[in-house]
Structures are given as C-alpha cells and as structure tokens.
Amino acid sequence: MKDKACRVCHKISEDVKVCPACNSSDLTTFWSGFVIFVNAEKSAIAQKMGVTGIGKYAVRMSR
C-alpha cells in the first residue's frame, strides 16, 4: 500500500485517514517525489513549500 500525502501540508503518512500534522482528511496516493526534512526551519526548500514540521513530504501531487 502506498503512503498518502496530505494536499494541505504535503506531509506523507502511512495508514492514516487524517493527516497527523494538520488534521486534514484531504489525502492522496497520487504523489511523486518526496523530501525528508530534519530541520525544516533552516531549509529553503521547506520554506518554499510552506512546510514547518519535520519528516517526509511530497514534492508533487496530482488530483
């Protein structure tokens, strides 16, 4: 089973119905590419994506 990405905050999670980061139920399995942030506050990519947490985040999503 493919991990789900949150359309709101990009967070990728396994086996969830709501996003653990922002509680959105707007999840999709149609994503490609991911980045892992260990320190989002200092990452220019994270800031560009609007990510504030740490973990695995989808780069692109469709549908």
Binding residues for Zn ion (CB under 5 A): 6, 8-9, 11, 19, 21-22, 24
**Is 19 marked within a binding site?**
yes
Q: Which is nearer to Zn ion, 43 or 49 (CB)?
A: 49
CB of 19 to Zn ion, least distance (A): 3
27-60 burial: b if 16+ Cβ within 10 Å, else e = beeebeeebebeebeeeeebeebebeebbebbee
CB of 24 to Zn ion, least distance (A): 5
